[in-house]
Amino acid sequence: MQTKGRLIVISGPSGAGKSTIVFKAIEGRDDMCFSTSVTSRSPRPGEVDGREYFFIDRERFQQMIADDELLEHAEYVGNYYGTPRKFVEDKLAAGVSVFLDIEVQGARQVSEKMPEAIKIFVITPSLEELRRRLVKRGTDSPEAIEGRLRRAREEYAEADFYDYIIVNDKVEVAAAELQAILTAENCKYSSRKHWLENA
């Protein structure tokens, strides 16, 4: 039986370690992948088109919105971010689970379109710790960091529709929790009731 993949939405402030945790979870697996988003922002040093994001200009992005080619999209700090619908639907149909790294606004859109998506919110143990990580990362100006912290506070207040919260204190523990969530979701009654029906 070909099992359909699961859609897993991962949100949380930039700097909380979302990508690191997900990459640990999908490492070496061909039944899970990271969705590649499209964005209108410029690549950061080291970012590769088609790996971190598909980098496109604002005009092309607006055309994708108009043509309903995006599962969700949002504007964030002046740039567009979105999820190509076809990429996700093809993977799920092929039995591959797809991780979406999107912010709260987009997660809510996906949740409404695909209520069966697993929604996980990743945070640092405190906003003070988030500030330390952003400073250490060194990719944002002090003003941009304050903006991210402000945005984090706003997102925390809107996060009540997530299924799970992972507090990324130690990355190994956080990655293990992500794995446990995926395992537990596979054990859910709704995912396994066919075992009772075909016993």
Site for its own copies, rule CB under 8 A:
121, 123, 125-127, 152-153, 156-157, 159-160, 162-167, 176-177, 179-181, 183-185, 187-189, 191-193, 195-197, 199
Task: Work out how close the CB of 64 gets to its own copies at its nearest, in angstroms, rounded to a whole number.
Answer: 31
Q: For residues 1 and 187, which CB has a smaller minimum distance to its own copies in the complex?
A: 187
26/126 Cα distance (integer angstroms): 26
Core vs surface per residue 84-96: b (16+ CB within 10 A) or e: bbebbeebbeeeb
Task: Work out how close the CB of 167 gets to its own copies at its nearest, in angstroms, rounded to a whole number.
Answer: 5
Q: For residues 38 and 152, which CB has a smaller minimum distance to its own copies in the complex?
A: 152
Task: Work out how close the CB of 125 gets to its own copies at its nearest, in angstroms, rounded to a whole number.
Answer: 8
58/69 Cα distance (integer angstroms): 15
Task: Work out how close the CB of 140 gets to its own copies at its nearest, in angstroms, rounded to a whole number.
Answer: 19
C-alpha distances in Å from residue 168, one per residue of 102, 146, 159: 17, 20, 16
Could you give the angle at which helices 189-197 and 171-187 cross, rounded to 10 degrees? 40
Token pair for 119: 């929604």
Tell me the one-letter amino acid at 116.
E
Task: Work out how close the CB of 110 gets to its own copies at its nearest, in angstroms, rounded to a whole number.
Answer: 16
3/17 Cα distance (integer angstroms): 29
Q: For residues 27 and 68, which CB has a smaller minimum distance to its own copies in the complex?
A: 27
Could you give the angle at which helices 127-137 and 142-157 cross, rounded to 10 degrees? 140
Q: For residues 100 and 175, which CB has a smaller minimum distance to its own copies in the complex?
A: 175
Decide: 122 and 174 in contact? Cβ < 8 Å.
yes
Q: For residues 68 and 128, which CB has a smaller minimum distance to its own copies in the complex?
A: 128
Task: Work out how close the CB of 196 gets to its own copies at its nearest, in angstroms, rounded to a whole number.
Answer: 4
Q: For residues 32 and 123, which CB has a smaller minimum distance to its own copies in the complex?
A: 123
